[in-house]
Structure 1
Amino acid sequence: MKLLGRKKDDRGGSGDPKAPGASGSTESADESAAAAAARAGTAPKGRPTPKRSEASRKRGPVAPAPMTSAEARKRRKELGGPKLSREERKAQRLERRTVMAERREKMMAGEDAYLLPRDKGPVRRYVRDVVDSRRNLLGLFMPAALGLIFVMLAVPSVAVQQALSAAMPALILIMVIDGFFLGRKVNKMVDEKFRGNTESGWKLGFYAASRASQLRRMRAPRPQVERGARVV
């Protein structure tokens, strides 16, 4: 039975929840709720609530990337602070060189705080003293090798070339044998002096041989004992 004055497809009524009018009112209510939530500092629907630190953080405008290298240099200069004068730059360089020279001098003197990691510790200092207190055949390797190479280049004789070619492997073999015995001696002395030493004998032997193969004046840190001194 039809009621008077009411049509079947009436769209203005509020009784049908699926009517467009009701949907529009629902959407407007959601929008107003989202706006109120945004004003209150909460996240809108469908998004996680931001942390308080993120909500309170204010990001300033980000400068655009430089378009040219000149603009990039200018920006680096601005970020680097005020420009120094020539005298100030010179004083800065002199101060830096002075500091580096002081650090190198302390390193060459054997101060543990300024040494390289490979040279630090009482065990390594003891090994250096043992090597520096004796005459090593390994110390003659570099001068002898350079001398042989110079003679090979200066004298084009075939007989000389063959003799020197045979002398080079013999020289290398002698140096290897001397380094082996030096490593054994160093490890024996270290074991007697440092009972709790846990460092590998191979590493200590190689450290001693590599130092012994250098000329005495070129060793770093600088030798702290004289040749022939008794190291205990």
Structure 2
Amino acid sequence: MLVNSSQPSKAYTPKKGHATPKRNAAQRKEGSFEARFTPAESYSEARKKRKELKASMSKEEWKQYKADAKAAQKARRQAAQRGMDEGDPRYLLERDKGPERAFVRDLVDSGRYLNTMVMPFALILLILLTIATRYPTVSPILSLTSMVIMLIFFIEAVILGRKAHRLVKEKFPNTTERGTSIGFYAFGRASQPRRWRTPKPRVKVGDQVA
């Protein structure tokens, strides 16, 4: 039996056509998380530049330069955080990008959910469990109550996730977002207190977004 040598084997991996970028170059790439908070040059380049500048300046000038650089860095961080809070696509994390994610955020922000109390409940539960170790008779009751509350949180999260997926499919028929991804995103948003959410809510509780 003849084998066609022109056909590549299954183990063959085609070349990418370009060299793999170094880590610092990848981090400085436009759109990456690090690029929003770090200067364009690498650490070694920036260090060399600082040494050259320091050698060419007086002590007072260098002190003023460092103060100005620190203020500029702070301003960049504030601008990035402000852009993220406002939902500016240039500053959003990958998990928050896309019209589907924006729609899910509005959907969650327009409602009230028990899952918003997940973090406060976890803190209270930790305190109560610590106290319950001193009172063994109370521990079973506390454990049962905690399990019931966590079950309620779970049921609500499942309902919210399915609802978010269904509405996303209706609004964006050609979406490539998976149901589990949308569901977890909706749950993650709902489990955060409203004032801690980023991007910040742009709809009020009770608004119609679907």
TM-score by length of 2: 0.70
Q: How many residues align?
A: 157
1:213 to 179, 191, 194: 191
Which protein, 1 or 2, shows the higher relative CO under an 8 Å CA cutoff with sep ≥ 6?
2
Structure 1 counterpart of 2:123: 146
Amino acid at match of 2:181: K
Structure 1 counterpart of 2:155: 177
Deviation at 1:167, TM superposition (A): 2.0
1:119 to 92, 96, 102: 96
What aligned pairs does 1:3-18 form with structure 2 within 5 A after superposition? Answer: none
The CA distance in 1 between the partners of 2:89 and 2:50, in whole Å, is 38
Percent identity between the aligned chains? 38
TM-score by length of 1: 0.63
Deviation at 1:79, TM superposition (A): 8.2
Of residues 200-209 and 134-143 in structure 1, the stretch that sits farther from structure 2 once superposed is 134-143
Structure 2 counterpart of 1:161: 139
Structure 2 counterpart of 1:47: none
Deviation at 1:98, TM superposition (A): 0.6
The CA distance in 2 between the partners of 1:137 and 1:207, in whole Å, is 16
Amino acid at match of 1:159: T
1:81 paired with 2:52, answer yes
TM-aligned CA distance change 1:217 to 1:153, over 3 Å:
same
Unaligned runs of 5+ in 1: 1-75
The CA distance in 2 between the partners of 1:141 and 1:177, in whole Å, is 13
Amino acid at match of 1:181: I
TM-aligned CA distance change 1:79 to 1:136, over 3 Å:
closer
The CA distance in 2 between the partners of 1:231 and 1:217, in whole Å, is 20
1:90 paired with 2:60, answer no
Larger Rg belongs to: 1
The CA distance in 2 between the partners of 1:158 and 1:182, in whole Å, is 37
Structure 1 counterpart of 2:38: none
TM-aligned CA distance change 1:80 to 1:222, over 3 Å:
same
Structure 2 counterpart of 1:103: 80
CA offset digits 1:146-201 (Å, max 9, x no partner)? 11222232453222222112222222221111110001110111111111111101
Structure 2 counterpart of 1:43: none
Moved >4 Å (runs of 4+)? 76-79
- Superposed CA RMSD: 1.8
The CA distance in 2 between the partners of 1:221 and 1:79, in whole Å, is 35
